[in-house]
Amino acid sequence: MTKTRVAMVTGSARGIGAATARRLAQSGASVAVVDLNEDACQETVAAIHSAGGTAIAVGCDVSKANQVQDAVEKVVKDLGGIHILVNNAGVIRDNLLFKMSEEDWDMVMNVHLKGHFLCSRAVQKYMVEQKYGKIVNVSSTSALGNKGQANYSSAKAGIQGLTKTLAIELGQFNINVNAVAPGFVETDMTKATAERVGVNMEQFKEYAAKEIPLRRVGQPEDIANVVNFLASDEAGFVSGQVIYVAGGPKA
Ligand code: NAD
């Protein structure tokens, strides 16, 4: 691809999504910063602008089909196309099974698994027509099982199945579909977990790092760099893969 690529990164107001939006912009993509609230996207958009890149803010709840459709249409209209989708938006509602409410199950499944489905379905039309596309999904080491995360680990394991299936269906249209599966990454999400279990963040990171072969927790940029590679033409023959980015074989 010689012309400027357009990337849409969901949940990019902060954390891993924000770092990914900045990294893709650094690689030359025009970026749609998508999050629940358009105002919350402004910080990421401003960071991309001040580094000389192109970005717009788009408010969208990825679990709502009509909002996803409108968001994708806006991206295509305002930025001139869609070539890269990073499905990153996420929430946690952790609890042990016997305490997990139906609402918390539905919320996590809807934002993660349904959100990945809705966004992928909305962009595929454009990607199929142009015979070019890169979809990068965000799974987690929790897909392998994690206490207190029946909802989240199921959604993240489902995302791995979705990734492989879409790679099979869309490969013939020159669309690559891959996933990253981060381990512990220092963001507001892990800060919220530390608060919930009543440990301060520095201690929480220290405990986590002891179990990680590289002896440190991840930073959002660690994930963004791998997403950037999977979204690039250098990864043109990689599809249907799940890359664990966890400082070791698994966290
Ligand atoms: P974060 O909470 O810092 O950021 C998540 C972003 O998603 C927020 O800006 C939030 O507003 C947005 N979001 C939530 N629901 C949304 C919705 N319905 N529609 C649109 N946007 C929505 O979290 P993070 O740590 O940066 O996580 C990013 C992704 O990485 C998530 O999918 C998460 O599950 C995954 N992940 C994180 C870790 C970690 O250790 N932080 C590990 C593995 C996987």
Residues of the chain with pLDDT > 70: what percent? 99
Residue 250: the pLDDT is 74
The rounded distance, in Å, linking the Cα atoms of 130 and 243 is 27
Q: What pLDDT is recorded for position 239?
A: 99
pLDDT of residue 249: 93
Which atom of ligand 1 is nearest the CA belonging to 185?
40
β-sheet with 175-182: strand ranges across: 55-59, 30-35, 6-10, 84-87, 133-138, 175-182, 242-245
Low-confidence stretches of the chain (pLDDT < 70) are 1-2, 251
Task: Quote the ligand 1 centre to 2 CA distance (angstroms).
Answer: 31
165 Cα–ligand 1 center, Å: 23
- The pLDDT score that the predictor gives to residue 234 is 98
Share of the chain above pLDDT 90, in %: 97
pLDDT at 251: 45
pTM as predicted: 0.98
> Is there an atom of ligand 1 within 6 Å of 188 CB?
yes
CA dihedral 148, 150, 156, 159 (to 10 degrees): -170
CA-nearest residue for atom 34, ligand 1, is 90
Closest alpha carbon to 223 in 14, 13, 7, 23:
23
Give the residues across from 149 on adjacent strands.
95
Residue nearest to atom 39 of ligand 1 (CA): 185
Pocket flag, ligand 1, residue 246 (CB < 6 Å): no
* Domains assigned to the chain: 6-245 (3.40.50.720)
- For 58, list phi and psi in degrees, rounded to 5: -135, 125
Average pLDDT, the chain: 97
Among all residues, which ones are annotated catalytic? Answer: 152
The ligand 1 atom nearest the CA atom of 37: 11
Pocket lining: 185 vs ligand 1, CB cutoff 6 Å: yes
CA of 36 to the centre of ligand 1 (A): 11
For atom 14 of ligand 1, the residue with the nearest CA is 90
**Residue having the nearest C-alpha atom to atom 6 of ligand 1:** 11
Q: What was the pLDDT predicted at 177?
A: 99
**CA of residue 114 to ligand 1 center, whole Å:** 14
**CB contact at 8 A, 41 and 23:** no
